Structure 1
Amino acid sequence: MTMSIKETEQIRTESYVPNVYGSFKALNTPGKWKLLEVEAVGQHFLKYAQKKLGRQAWDKNENELEKKHEEEQNTEIYDEEEDEEILYCDPKEYKQQDHYAILGLSKLRYKATIEDIKQGYRQKVLKHHPDKKAAQDNTSDDSFFKCIQKAMEILSDPIKRRQYDSVDEKANVFPPSKKETVNFYEQWGKVFESEARFSNQHPVPSLGDEHSSRKDIEEFYNFWYNFDSWRSFEYLDKDTPDDSYNRNNKRYQEHKNRSERAKRKTEDTARLRRLIDDCLSLDPRIKKFRQEEKAAKAAKKHEHKINMQKTPEKIEKEEKKEVEEELRKEEKKAKEAQKKAMKKIKKVIRKSLKTANYFYDGEDIPPDVIDKLLTDTDLIIQKAPSDLMTFIKELENVTKVENIETIFKTYIKKLLEEKIIQVSDLKILFI
């Protein structure tokens, strides 16, 4: 409500000084009469005007508006209706229940404050208390009330709530497919906003938009590629048996739970890495940066060609340099492939030796026997002929000790006959 009142007032400055001020005197003489135009505005004037017009006080209206706004806010926050399926939750299976939905907070989930949780709990208790239910329906079923209590127990405890939030799939926002290129910033922004709830570091940088600076974009991806997550998976642990007579069962279950937690953590880290890679590959800003870099590089190369007056000798020299560089790369690839193949050969031979108990009759194999045997096999690999791969393929296809021993003896005999190795070279292997 806005009103304006123009009033003409005569303002006169009085020089009257009360006796209580003793010898104080007025410094100036009274001023002249002045005509002023006053426009009354603001909340204090509105209060005055409402009272003058005989309406309700402004404070009362303001309180009513605040109350109405609060009620509208609560309506938006809390669920209006309860799903019938939720009402039949089994309190024994509390790990499968949606604690936020039970307290009417499915719209907020991890964003709910402790006050939201308390308010939701109070509303549900007033509605589903067993005493009230018994009075209305003459029933004593308190299963759902127990679910409400369990939800409050978990969500009001910071540690338990974090464990539940870590596995709350309904709070996840799944990334769009690679074919969806419309609304990139809006869709992927929601994905990273959802993932940011697990961050140990704050503030979490946002995805931004097409106007974001290159520095901000690089900081965003650096942050997520080095993401420090508090997400854990204890909530999915299977309950350890409370068996005082058999502690081994309890230790076994605890060990299994730890292994499952570590496995899920590894899988989640890999999932997040794939998500960031997909976003980076689809980011139109990154594509733009790469195109600009490519264009700048091409322009620089073109400028260099123009500035350099190349003679046939220089051209020949550069071409020769490029050929040498290609040969160097090919040689490097060949060495890497050979290194990889030798690693596989050693792995197959050592596996076969282990299966054959290193050709030793006893159970406790002396370390020097193993060392000498491995030295002999390394010598064979080093001086091996071209048919070494045939020897390896034969070893890969057998598992019996006698067959492995026969293959080794046959191959060593062949090497001795071809004088590739000498008997004196061998430390322990024999025909």
Structure 2
Amino acid sequence: MAHTIDVSVVPPPLKVGWSSPQSTGQTVSPLVERKLIPAGPAYLAHVRRAVHKLTFEEHDKHEESKRLANSNGDGANGDHDYGIGDEEEPEELLSLDPKEWKKQDHYAVLGLSHLRYKASDEQIKIAHRKKVLKHHPDKKAGVAGDSNDDAFFKCIQKAMEVLTNAERRRQFDSVDPFYEDLEEDVPTAGQVKNAKDPNAFFFKAFTPVFEREARFSRKQPVPMLGPFDASKEEVEGFYDFWYNFDSWRSFEYLDKEINEGSDSRDDKRYTEKKNKSERARRKKEDTARLRQFVDLALGVDPRIKRIKQEEKDAREAKKKVKTGGVNGLTQKQQLEEAKKKAEEEAKQKEEEEKVARAEAKKAKAAAANAAKKARRAARGDDA
């Protein structure tokens, strides 16, 4: 713990003949109070340390771990090693022919198969440096069994050349063999229908496909499939985006190489024309493939059925509120019907009472006549 020590300071005496300076008569600008707002990386670092209660050493360690995590590495082999470029090198990879460089997987050559198009320029440089240190011909000169190291070293250099050139890397990413194999493996309507839980299977099977295709979009960010309870606007926006998908994918990487030894302009023009035609064909096929997949997703999307049912229920509820909810009659018509029914019941009851009174009167008259006859008969007997 720090201790405070008070030290008494005695100012020296004034010089002999010293006098205070005379006023110049010039006005002094008024004092202006200004508010200083803390900003900058140093202040933000201070705030992070204060909020998380970290020491300088702990904060630096945390930032370093974040930097390494963002690079998909662990930094286990030194400050400049992010744990990339250390993938296993099978014999098939080491025996690549540098002359067939268009057929090689450049990411696999540099040990970046787990990152692929997500690999940053820094990660590519680090992976290349590690591969060069490991496979440089001078380093393994004279070592038995390493006759192909020179060839694989050329493959490494070619991979570096392609992946550090933005245009050529985009061309290679367009026809990346890893993703071309996955494009053939897409879910079908039958698989969704026959699944134990069709709803869960739909999202599990279709989400990664849309995520893969999203890397070709010129417009970013790309809307993803979303959850089952997504709103109608979200679902419509999702399919509207994918039906108007603007892809930057191209197929120049697959162009047939022009014979450099040929001096014939006709041959070169023919090859260029053929390449252009093939690119257009592949682009058209790719667009049709994606459209077909979006059609499939729309056809089996459980949210479409849910939205239609919700709209139907809403229409019925609206109609029920509007009509009062009884046999399609309005409230006014219901009141009129009820009034008419009450009048009919009252009239019927009145008629029944009238008939009952008439029958009672008739019965009374009959009883009176019977009594009168009985009296007459009694007088006749007495006589």
TM-based fold match above 0.5: yes
- TM-aligned CA deviation for residue 299 of structure 1: 5.2
**Pairing 1:201-350 to 2, within 5 Å after superposition:** 201-298=219-316, 306-307=328-329
Change (3 A) 1:62 1:248: closer
Q: Distance in 2 between matches of 1:217 and 1:21?
A: 83
Match of 1:125 in 2: 132
**Pairing 1:89-108 to 2, within 5 Å after superposition:** 89-108=96-115
Change (3 A) 1:252 1:211: same
What SS is found at the alignment partner of 1:267?
helix
Match of 2:168 in 1: 160
Which one-letter code corresponds to 1:209 in the other structure? Answer: P
Contact persistence 2:188–2:296 (CA under 8 A): no
Match of 1:147 in 2: 155
Calculate the TM-score normalised by the size of structure 2. Answer: 0.61
Match of 1:83 in 2: 90
Report Cα offsets for 1:273-312 as digits up to 9, x if no partner.
1111111222222220012223334555676671479xxx
Structure with more contact order per residue of length (Cα contacts < 8 Å, sep ≥ 6): 2
Change (3 A) 1:132 1:199: same
2:183 is the alignment partner of 1:175: no
Calculate the TM-score normalised by the size of structure 1. Answer: 0.55
Q: Distance in 1 between matches of 2:144 and 2:160?
A: 25
Change (3 A) 1:215 1:248: same
Contact persistence 2:174–2:250 (CA under 8 A): yes
Unaligned runs of 5+ residues in structure 1 are 1-6, 23-40, 48-57, 310-431
- TM-aligned CA deviation for residue 193 of structure 1: 1.3
Q: Distance in 1 between matches of 2:97 and 2:65?
A: 41
Q: Distance in 2 between matches of 1:217 and 1:118?
A: 41
Change (3 A) 1:306 1:88: same
- TM-aligned CA deviation for residue 219 of structure 1: 1.7
Which one-letter code corresponds to 1:195 in the other structure? Answer: E
Match of 2:43 in 1: none
- TM-aligned CA deviation for residue 171 of structure 1: 3.0
Change (3 A) 1:288 1:61: closer
Unaligned runs of 5+ residues in structure 2 are 14-51, 193-197, 332-383
Q: Distance in 2 between matches of 1:271 and 1:204?
A: 19
- TM-aligned CA deviation for residue 208 of structure 1: 1.5
Query: In percent, how many aligned pairs have the same letter?
Result: 51
Task: Report the aligned-residue RMSD.
Answer: 3.9
Contact persistence 1:243–1:250 (CA under 8 A): no
Contact persistence 2:74–2:83 (CA under 8 A): no
Which one-letter code corresponds to 1:306 in the other structure? Answer: G
Contact persistence 2:124–2:160 (CA under 8 A): yes
Q: Distance in 2 between matches of 1:308 and 1:66?
A: 69
Structure index of larger Rg: 2
Change (3 A) 1:199 1:20: farther
Which one-letter code corresponds to 2:155 in the other structure? Answer: C
Contact persistence 2:250–2:279 (CA under 8 A): yes
Change (3 A) 1:103 1:293: same
Q: Distance in 2 between matches of 1:87 and 1:277?
A: 42
